Amino acid sequence: MSQAQTVFQGWVLTTDGIAPHQVTVRDGTITAIGAIDELADPRDDIITLADDEILLPGLVDTHVHVNEPGRTEWEGFATATAAAAAGGVTTILDMPLNSIPPTTSVEALQIKRVAADGQAAVNVGFWAGAVPDSLGQLAALHAAGVFGFKCFLLDSGVPEFPPLSADQLREAMAEIAAFDGLLIVHAEDPEVVEAHRRAHTVHYREFMNSRPPEAEIAAVGTVIAAARATGCRAHIVHLSSAEALPALAAARSDGVRLTVETCPHYLTLQAEDIADGQTQFKCCPPVRDAANRDRLWQGLADGVIDFVVSDHSPSTIELKRLDEGDFGAAWGGISSLQLGLSLIWTEARQRGYSLPQVINWMAGRPAQVVGVPDKGAIAIGQAADFAVFAPDESFTVDAAALHHRNAVTPYHGRTLIGTVRATYLEGRRVVLDGSPLGSLLTRAAA
Ligand SMILES: [Zn+2]
């Protein structure tokens, strides 16, 4: 007697595009994709999508700051993964800073895993930190299953996660190259930022100009030089300035092992629309002007930017300093985990990009780059992690209705197109007040 399976029927986005299909799932894995069979085995659990829905691979968001333990009041695993699930994100990778301890040792990684265990509504993997004190010990973290290492070249915003100097960056890359790992870098140059520093301002333009494109260009140059010298795989997180794209494209065509991400805020917001005092829009590097935004979209279309992830970086409402509107003092970080797909789809369709392109940027490509080989696509052998998406249905963002912990987001009040109606993890529907279905991921052995 054959075992019962779950069968999804309807419009499906596979690697061949969007078409009517039947997707068969057994033991959490996709086992068949074929024509819709109206005579399906009656023992099967059949899930029929509505005509206005498309089955998508669950999104893979490799840039999420969860902050638990230590700063759980900023964001915790239960709330972050609930927001992810509600937004169709089925895998997140947690950043190594803002929690206490930061994930800079095998012991700290274990503390993170214990904190996440039993709370994860979606799959959670971990980045580790490359800080001055963790240099020389990165191989042990790699062996413990982290997906790679994050470093800063300037003040990270929290004292327990100090930056690397340019020499230490090269040291870290040499160490990581020895086991063919991945280093991801917050690319703003400390000297350029120090030279433009504004301790306090309510004016958005002054804040933006305090972290100028030159800071990103200089830091990207530092990363390229170190990657070229060491052969290490390097990845630029949250690229804001399109002025860095030519150097990145040139280095890649020279064979430097480099990838790049940007975020929904750089692709959907623009400085022209940010009023003074609106610190919910503060992030570092900052959102720049409309012309820059157009060039970032072009960078995505050209493939110089590989993918789009949230950089969901929340804090408490108090730390956003919304009352005084001081961009210098406010926490720099934007909360958007639940909204990424709708934000990017709303903008992409206006610009003439297709849903398969968007999903490649938000699921397929990030999974490939960071090494989550069984996720990010609907194909035989892949995990049955899905988002059911209604691409023509619009909604208005209400910050208080989002699942992340603190009800702040720069997108409050915006009308977006495309809603996530259901999320599945290994073929099972995610129910937010049910028992969490997420797994804690370790990097697959090469
Ligand atoms: Zn971040």
Query: How many angstroms separate the alpha carbon of residue 320 from the centre of ligand 1?
Result: 16
pLDDT at 138: 98
Query: How many angstroms separate the alpha carbon of residue 74 from the centre of ligand 1?
Result: 14
Six-digit token string for 309: 């992830």
Query: How many angstroms separate the alpha carbon of residue 162 from the centre of ligand 1?
Result: 14
Query: How many angstroms separate the alpha carbon of residue 312 from the centre of ligand 1?
Result: 7
Q: Any idea which residue has 């630029």 for tokens?
A: 236
For the chain, the average pLDDT equals 95
Across 17-31, b (16+ Cβ under 10 Å) vs e yields ebeebbbbbbebebe
Six-digit token string for 168: 């230490």
Query: How many angstroms separate the alpha carbon of residue 64 from the centre of ligand 1?
Result: 7
Please state the rounded mean pLDDT for residues 316-334: 90
Six-digit token string for 432: 């937010």
List, for residues 328-375, the tens digit of each pLDDT value.
988 899 999 999 999 999 999 999 999 999 999 999 999 999 999 999
3-state DSSP call for residue 101? Answer: coil
List C-alpha distances in Å: 250 to 116, 163, 174, 211, 217: 40, 27, 22, 24, 13
| pLDDT band at residue 43 under the 50/70/90 scheme | confident
What whole-number distance in Å separates Cα of residue 114 and Cα of residue 232? 31
Query: How many angstroms separate the alpha carbon of residue 2 from the centre of ligand 1?
Result: 47
DSSP 124-187: EEE-EE--GGGTT-HHHHHHTT-S-EEEESS--SSTTSPPPPHHHHHHHHHHHHHTT-EEEEE-
Tallying the residues shown for the chain, one arrives at 446
Query: How many angstroms separate the alpha carbon of residue 324 from the centre of ligand 1?
Result: 24
Query: CA gyration radius for the chain?
Result: 21
The CB-based long-range contact list for 71-74 (8 Å cut-off, 24+ gap) reads 71/98, 71/99, 71/100, 73/316, 73/405, 74/98, 74/314, 74/315, 74/316, 74/319, 74/405, 74/406
Please state the rounded mean pLDDT for residues 189-195: 97
List C-alpha distances in Å: 134 to 104, 106, 159: 6, 10, 15
Query: How many angstroms separate the alpha carbon of residue 311 from the centre of ligand 1?
Result: 5
Query: How many angstroms separate the alpha carbon of residue 41 from the centre of ligand 1?
Result: 47
Pick the closest to residue 282 from 315, 307, 256 (CA basis): 315
List, for residues 114-157, the tens digit of each pLDDT value.
999 999 999 999 999 999 999 999 999 999 999 999 999 999 98
Query: How many angstroms separate the alpha carbon of residue 63 from the centre of ligand 1?
Result: 6
Share of the chain above pLDDT 70, in %: 99
| pLDDT band at residue 181 under the 50/70/90 scheme | very high
Please state the rounded mean pLDDT for residues 87-103: 97
pLDDT at 444: 81
Q: Is the pLDDT of residue 408 over 50?
A: yes
Q: Is the pLDDT of residue 38 over 80?
A: no
Pick the closest to residue 311 from 64, 81, 61 (CA basis): 64
Please state the rounded mean pLDDT for residues 24-41: 90
| pLDDT band at residue 1 under the 50/70/90 scheme | very low
Query: How many angstroms separate the alpha carbon of residue 277 from the centre of ligand 1?
Result: 22
Q: Is the pLDDT of residue 262 over 80?
A: yes
Reported pTM: 0.97
Q: Is the pLDDT of residue 71 over 90?
A: yes
Please state the rounded mean pLDDT for residues 302-327: 93
Query: How many angstroms separate the alpha carbon of residue 313 from the centre of ligand 1?
Result: 6
Query: How many angstroms separate the alpha carbon of residue 210 from the centre of ligand 1?
Result: 19
Query: How many angstroms separate the alpha carbon of residue 235 from the centre of ligand 1?
Result: 13
Query: How many angstroms separate the alpha carbon of residue 65 from the centre of ligand 1?
Result: 6
List, for residues 207-239, the tens digit of each pLDDT value.
999 999 999 999 999 999 999 999 999 999 999
Query: How many angstroms separate the alpha carbon of residue 96 from the centre of ligand 1?
Result: 9
